DNA sequence: TAGATTGTTAATCGATTAACAATC
DNA sequence: TAGATTGTTAATCGATTAACAATC
């Protein structure tokens, strides 16, 4: 009896946020960080919405899912909202990432400086090409993918990026899951099958381009 | 009177397809092309849905916006559906693209082999760094961004990719619009302001990563 | 205080799913 | 024919917008 009451109240408190809202939070955070760099200390749902092409009502509704972050009449404190969003998105810490695939794209990502300030850092790079294993990229020695499972497991890394050809992406994903990875950013143009509970996001320029040519003539 | 009747019937025939549907079409096409490579000639909304993690009803509904492509009892012809989707998405032709930004990411994209079979080809590469102008990347001589507007205009290129730092992305976008570009794939982590009628798609790994860490702990 | 802007409710809008007659 | 699967309609579900009392 007590148990079920407890569960019920927890269920209320711990309400599930729709994925479409979660998907907008990183965009809010990015724009607010930009405002911070510009020295802006206060903002409103209106102003934020204009920067993002999102309605003010939607921004207020989204943010209100997580607490009352604003003040009537004055709006939101930019640094406070940045701090809250970082905490909500769990990027108030540093996530170590594995990068699998040391081709051109893997190189570019390994050398990209934009991850650190956003809560991410590359910890290991793997490839299956003997010619690449041992090579230094962005300060890391490329490791043999054959050792991926044990090495990733031993460092309890939860986030991975896949930049291998489509034909080997599923096999790589299987290894990553086996190694305990729970979030995968897949640059290979193929759908990955993963157990439920493992998050996958896709980056495929062709998908974006084809979505635009529909409107051209 | 006749005019308004004509406009009305055109409006009916030329119904606007929701953007969320257009966004799924490239994914359908990619999976069907994969099936074609696997030698599969016939498929069903059910089978396609399983590959994409999309409901069969949704796939049938989406496709039916554009015509009756299937047969009761037997499903869809894979090559026929591929042909139809290529035509709908206008990738039954080749789109020339401008690439602006010859850094690591620009290099990787310029050397990527995956565009050609999907209806795209890089035609020109620009950068503002004197050290990069003149260099050969993927068979192209990097051009000075100062000449972008005239050169792009003269070749009537409509599609562009931006791989410059966030701080110069808006200025580049302005030039591209001035040069007649109508679709921009922006890899810089910043929102672009463009006139209505110009399409923009964004690729930002940090957005995707932060959207996943929300679910981790 | 007067003006501005929040958080929230109710209304609207749009997208997804279920179901099934049509038919291959 | 019997089984399978479409295209489409109606029902459901969910997301966005409008509006406003509360209040800084």
Those residues whose C-beta lies under 8 Å from the C-beta of residue A28, and which sit 6 or more positions away, are A48, A52, A59, A62, A63, A81, A85
Residue B214 lies in a domain: no
Query: B160 and B59 in one domain?
Result: no
Q: Considering the domain boundaries, does residue A25 fall inside one?
A: yes
Compute the distance between CA of residue A50 and CA of residue B32 in angstroms, rounded to an integer. Answer: 39
> Per the CB < 8 Å rule, is A51 touching B212?
no
Where in the sequence is the domain holding B160, given as residue range(s)?
95-208
CATH number, residue B109: 3.40.50.720
User: CB within 8 A of B8, min separation 6: which ones?
Assistant: none
Are both B103 and B32 inside the same structural domain? Answer: no
Residue A127 makes CB contacts below 8 A (sequence gap 6+) with: A100, A101, A102, A103, A106, A133, A142, A143, A144, A145
Same domain assignment for residues A107 and A20: no
pLDDT tens readout for residues B17-33: 999 999 999 999 999 99
Query: For chain D, which bases have at least one atom within 7 A of a protein Cβ?
Result: 2-9, 14-19, 21-24
pLDDT per residue over B58-67, tens digit each? Answer: 999 999 999 9
Q: Are residues A101 and A203 in the same domain?
A: yes
Q: Can you say whether residue B8 is alpha, beta or left, with left for phi > 0 and alpha for psi between -120 and 50 degrees? A: alpha
Rounded to a whole number of angstroms, the distance from the CA of A182 to the nearest CA of chain B is 8
The answer on A186 and A108 residing in a single domain is: yes
B84 and B16 both lie in a single domain? yes
- In whole angstroms, give the CA distance from residue B31 to residue B44: 12
- Answer yes or no: pTM beyond 0.85: yes
The label of the residue with tokens 């209505």 reads B196
Q: Are residues B52 and B151 in the same domain?
A: no
Considering the domain boundaries, does residue A50 fall inside one?
yes
Residue A213 in domain:
no
| E strand residue ranges, A37-181 | 42-43, 70-71, 75-77, 95-100, 120-127, 136-137, 140-141, 143-144, 159-162
For the segment A42-101, what is each residue's pLDDT rounded down to a tens digit? 999 999 999 999 999 999 999 999 999 999 999 999 999 999 999 999 999 999 999 999
Which of B51, B71, B88 is where one domain is finished?
Answer: B88
Beta-bridge mates of residue B125: B99
Res A3: pLDDT: 37
Per-residue pLDDT, A14 = 60
Asked if the Cβ of residue B217 lies within 7 A of any atom of strand C, the reply is no
Q: Is B213 among the domain residues?
A: no
Q: Nearest by CB to B30, which of A120, A189, A199?
A: A189
Give the pLDDT score at B14: 61
Residue A120 and residue A76 share a domain = no
Q: What is the pLDDT of residues B149-185, one digit of tens each?
A: 999 999 999 999 999 999 999 999 999 999 999 999 9
Flag whether A217 is in a domain. no
Tell me which of A88, A121, A140 is where a domain ends.
A88
């206008």: which residue's tokens? B90
B105 shares a domain with B81: no
The rounded percent of chain B whose pLDDT value lies above 90 is 93
Helix or strand run (H / E) with residue A19: helix A19-37
Angstrom distance (rounded) from CA A17 to CA A32: 21
The CATH number of the domain where A76 resides is what? 1.10.10.10
Question: Which of residues B44, B65, B88 is at a domain's end?
Answer: B88
**Chain A residue closest to B25 (CA)?**
A211
Distance from CA of A185 to the nearest CA of B (A): 7
Q: Mark the nucleotides of strand C covered by protein, meaning any atom under 7 Å from a CB.
A: 2-9, 14-19, 21-24
Q: Are residues B12 and B52 in the same domain?
A: yes
Identify whether residues A101 and A202 lie together within a single domain: yes
Residues A175 and A133 in one domain: yes
Crossing angle (nearest 10°) for helices B45-52 and B19-37: 100
Chain B residues within an 8 Å CB radius of A185: 205, 208-209, 212
Is the residue at B114 inside a domain?
yes
From the DSSP assignment, how many helices (H) and strands (E) are in chain A? 9, 11
Does residue A216 lie in a domain region?
no
Indicate the number of domains in chain A. 2
In chain B, the residue whose alpha carbon lies closest to the alpha carbon of A89 is B214
| Nearest CB to B203 within list A203, A214, A216 | A203
Q: Quote the CA–CA distance of A195 and A199 in Å, as a whole number.
A: 9
Of A103, A108, A203, the CB nearest to B208: A203
The verdict on a CB contact (< 8 Å) between A210 and B95 is no
């Amino acid at each position: 009896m007590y148990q079920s009451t407890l569960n019920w109240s927890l269920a209320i408190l711990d309400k599930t946020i729709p994925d479409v809202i979660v998907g907008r939070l990183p965009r809010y955070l990015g724009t607010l960080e930009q405002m911070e760099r510009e020295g802006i200390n206060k903002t409103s749902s209106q102003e934020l919405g204009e920067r993002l092409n999102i309605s003010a009502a939607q921004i207020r509704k989204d943010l209100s899912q997580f607490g009352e972050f604003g003040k009537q009449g004055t709006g939101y404190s930019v640094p406070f909202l940045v701090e809250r969003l970082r905490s909500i998105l769990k990027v108030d810490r540093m996530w170590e990432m594995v990068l699998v695939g040391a081709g051109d794209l893997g190189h570019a990502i390994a050398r990209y400086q934009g991850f650190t300030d956003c809560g991410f850092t590359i910890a290991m790079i793997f490839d299956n090409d003997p010619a690449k294993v041992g090579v230094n990229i962005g300060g890391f020695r490329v490791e043999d993918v054959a050792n991926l499972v044990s090495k990733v497991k031993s460092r309890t890394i939860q986030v991975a990026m896949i930049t291998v050809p489509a034909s080997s992406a599923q096999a790589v994903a299987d290894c990553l899951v086996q190694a305990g990875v729970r979030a995968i950013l897949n640059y290979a143009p193929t759908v990955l099958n993963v157990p439920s509970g493992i998050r996958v996001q896709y980056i495929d320029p062709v998908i974006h381009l084809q979505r635009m040519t529909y409107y051209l003539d």
